[in-house]
Amino acid sequence: MKIRFLGTGTSTGVPEIACQCKVCTSTDIRDKRLRSSMLVEVEHRNILIDCGPDFRFQMLRSGITRLDGVLLTHEHYDHVSGLDDLRPFSRERNVDVYAEWPVVKAIETHIIPYAFAAHKYPGLPEISIHTIDVKHPFQIDGVTVVPIRVIHGEMPILGYRIGNMAYLTDLKYIPDEEYAKMEALDVLIISALREREHISHQTLSQALEKIERINPRCTYLIHMSHHFGLHADMEKRLPKSVHIAYDGLSVEI
């Protein structure tokens, strides 16, 4: 399995518009963060996790030419607003998109409702929606995906386990019963917004507490804001098995 971090930033990205802080003005390429998204390459399949506003540029920059499935964690703008740009991937066959019912409803009613119209304008994305739920693992072309419930503020959203890798974004809390789904992980990818408390996202210290409980072989932090700090400074403060992901990073599992 190979994972590619397409974006590792929060909803505003880094640098943030009009900000002159030390992170936003950093010349370190690792401090330039598009909205969070990741590609999982497994068993000759390309599986995308989240499809946000930077999706088009992420595809062009990474040279990805095929998608076998798209997993959506929740319906917030920074995770689904790139769905219209799936059009080039759907010219030969529909793109399979997997999401919970509230996300499916949002997609069909107000995110890209025109893609599901009875009489569609030519050239719109051709999407096959698959409604999933947290209780039932499913497959994408033979690849097993295990949904994991996490709580984003008060909003239930999904993380995913594929093989010995788990991806958890935008979380504040993990229900106790979900930890069993993350036993014996080689790689955990988990969000850590900043050090200061936030109403719906976990802090770095809260992320480290969950990492200790899950006990993966190694961990990569994602979904950082400019308040997280400089990559070079913050990396030195972390345990040896915990790393800060950055856009363009590829990891073999």
pLDDT, one tens digit per residue, over 40-80 is 999 999 999 999 999 999 999 999 999 999 999 999 999 99
pLDDT in tens, 204-231: 999 999 999 999 999 999 999 999 999 9
Distance of alpha carbon 189 from alpha carbon 166, whole angstroms? 6
DSSP reduced 3-state for 89:
helix
Omega within 30 of 0 (cis) for the link into 137: no
Separation of alpha carbons 200 and 193, rounded Å: 10
What are 175's two structure tokens? 């229900």
What is the model's pTM? 0.97
* pLDDT at residue number 118: 87
Beta bridge partner(s), residue 37: 7
Q: Taking the domains of the chain in order of start, what are their residue ranges?
A: 2-245
pLDDT in tens, 110-155: 999 999 998 888 889 999 999 999 999 999 999 999 999 999 999 9
Give the model's confidence band at 157: pLDDT under 50 very low, under 70 low, under 90 confident, else very high: very high
For 226-243, the pLDDT digits (tens) are 999 999 999 999 999 999
Class of domain 2-245: alpha beta
